[in-house]
Amino acid sequence: MADTSSYDLVVIGGGPAGYAGAIRAGQLGKKVACVEMERAGGTCLNWGCIPSKALLKSAELYQKMLHADDFGFNVGSIDVDFPKVVERSRSVANQMAKGIEFLFKKNKVDYIVGQAQINVPGMVELISGDRKGEYLSTKNILIATGCRARMLPGLTKDGKQVMTAREILDRRDLPKSCIVMGAGAIGMEFAYFLNAFGSDVTVVEMMDRVLPVEDDDVSKFVEKSFKKQGLKVMTGTKAENITVADGKVTLDAMTGDKTEKLEAESLLVAIGVQANTDKLLSNRVKLEMHRNYVKVDAHYRTSVKGIYAAGDIIGPPWLAHVATYEAVQAVNGMFDHGEPRPYVRFPGCTYCQPQVASIGMTERDVKAKELKYKVGKFPFTASGKAVAAMESEGFVKLIVSEPEGEILGAHITGAEATELIAEYALGMELEATWEEIHGTIHAHPTLSEALMEAAAATHNEAIHI
């Protein structure tokens, strides 16, 4: 047998779940190794969350500069160096990846680049990379291999005509036209980005609304905003007969009994994800699965003793911050550092413009459960700070229980929604009521005042509407 190293924990995957789990175990004084196929940070940091936000910031800034005269500036024409826009996003990802590598060293985590396979329980084999053929003996294994973009059958991504989020993040030229298939968070973010820089964008979504997991009021508002920005949005629409040839992509967009032929230079497929399980297990290891994801219990234990799993690999909601939370809880539990805390709720964020952020139940969820509730809404058009900053698009919507007044759900669309949602998240964690949010003095003028006003509006006590 090849060389063998011994560990308290071997983490397979270096994304938000993997690196967080490894670092947490290092903090607890354990001997840890983290094996990552590509680079520390995983998909989120290298090919997802972080570089995409850099691109979106560039798009947002470009749009602001196009309207600089509204702020009193005469800047003339603005030239876009699109390759440089993309290169900046790559440099941001590289900087953050180096930060994770530093944290590994700080917490004495052995960082191994390569692909790992669970040979038998307690034994991990390195099947690629510089240390290929080496075995890692370990008391515990944490699977955190995450997910990758799901591709439509019969389509092959080439990074030019057919792309997923990964390919578009490194594309150095702007497609003149693009069909975005899928109006979830990823599809909507890239649709906004492409359109902001001048690409002709059509969004195709099978569900009857964009951002299907969000509250109906938010979905309708964002769809209206996107259309106002010049995007074509087709909801309740199926894509059939997709053809890639002669430098273009064509498809039949079927909405009800109507069919429209769409044509574009590129197709971005954003229809969901699938678990990364390729070569993860030898034929001697059988884990119980649920809908092609690794099944775990409340302690993140799989069906095989000593093997745990956390993050996207165990299924939805497929969010980096949830993955990190799960991995930390899994490690705390496996090393008897407190009982793993389950999560009841989590914020979800979409970083297009207008931004979207939410936590808890939507109004349709509340109705489906036949709960008694009240709704408070506050538009950013009534916020002095939002108007002064020319960011008055959007609103805050708060759903509270009746008569107790606890927060059931919070939904924000507009400027800095993804930052503002944290107050409501903390409030729900502490079981705060609308009265406690309303009774907390918020600084003026700030966007956060809208959170207080929405709480007050649930009982008709808002001052500014």
Weakly modelled stretches of the chain, pLDDT under 50: 1
Verify that 246 and 291 share a domain, yes or no.
no
Q: Can you give the pLDDT at residue 414?
A: 98
Examine the fold and report which residue of 236, 252, 271 is the final residue of a domain before the chain moves on.
Answer: 271
132 labeled binding residue: no
411-463 tens-digit pLDDT:
999 999 999 999 999 999 999 999 999 999 999 999 999 999 999 999 999 99
Examine the fold and report which residue of 218, 252, 271 is the final residue of a domain before the chain moves on.
Answer: 271
Verify that 19 and 123 share a domain, yes or no.
yes
Verify that 29 and 142 share a domain, yes or no.
yes
Q: Can you give the pLDDT at residue 54?
A: 97
Known catalytic membership, residue 411: no
21 labeled binding residue: no
Verify that 312 and 425 share a domain, yes or no.
no
Q: pTM, whole model, 2 decimals? A: 0.95
Verify that 34 and 66 share a domain, yes or no.
yes
Examine the fold and report which residue of 219, 253, 271 is the final residue of a domain before the chain moves on.
Answer: 271
Q: Can you give the pLDDT at residue 1?
A: 43
Verify that 388 and 431 share a domain, yes or no.
yes
Answer yes or no: is 309 within a domain. yes
70-85 tens-digit pLDDT:
999 999 899 999 999 9
Q: Among 67, 290, 444, 464, which one carries the catalytic annotation?
A: 444
- The residue range of the domain holding 367 is 354-457
Verify that 174 and 106 share a domain, yes or no.
no
Verify that 266 and 182 share a domain, yes or no.
yes
Verify that 281 and 375 share a domain, yes or no.
no
Answer yes or no: is 300 within a domain. yes
Looking at the structure of the chain, the number of domains it has is 3
Answer yes or no: is 211 within a domain. yes
Verify that 124 and 256 share a domain, yes or no.
no
81 labeled binding residue: no
Answer yes or no: is 340 within a domain. no
Answer yes or no: is 339 within a domain. no
455 labeled binding residue: no
242 labeled binding residue: no
Question: What is the 3-state secondary structure of the chain?
Answer: CCCEEEEEEEEECCCHHHHHHHHHHHHCCCCEEEEECCCCCHHHHHHCHHHHHHHHHHHHHHHHHHCHHHHCCCCCCCCCCHHHHHHHHHHHHHHHHHHHHHHHHHCCEEEEECCEEEEECCEEEECCCCCCCCEEEEEEEEECCCEEECCCCCCCCCCCCEECHHHHHCCCCCCCEEEEECCCHHHHHHHHHHHHCCCEEEEECCCCCCCCCCCHHHHHHHHHHHHHCCCEEECCEEEEEEEEECCEEEEEEEECCEEEEEEECEEEECCCEEECCCCCECCCCCCCEECCEECCCCCCECCCCCEEECHHHHCCCCCHHHHHHHHHHHHHHHCCCCCCCCCCCCCEEECCCCCEEEEECCHHHHHHCCCCEEEEEEEHHHCHHHHHCCCCCEEEEEEEECCCCEEEEEEEEECCHHHHHHHHHHHHHCCCEHHHHHCCCCCCCCCCHHHHHHHHHCCCCCCCC
Q: What is the CATH number of the domain that holds 381?
A: 3.30.390.30
Q: What is the CATH number of the domain that holds 170?
A: 3.50.50.60
Verify that 246 and 281 share a domain, yes or no.
no
Verify that 261 and 282 share a domain, yes or no.
no
Answer yes or no: is 349 within a domain. no
205 labeled binding residue: yes
Q: Can you give the pLDDT at residue 2?
A: 53
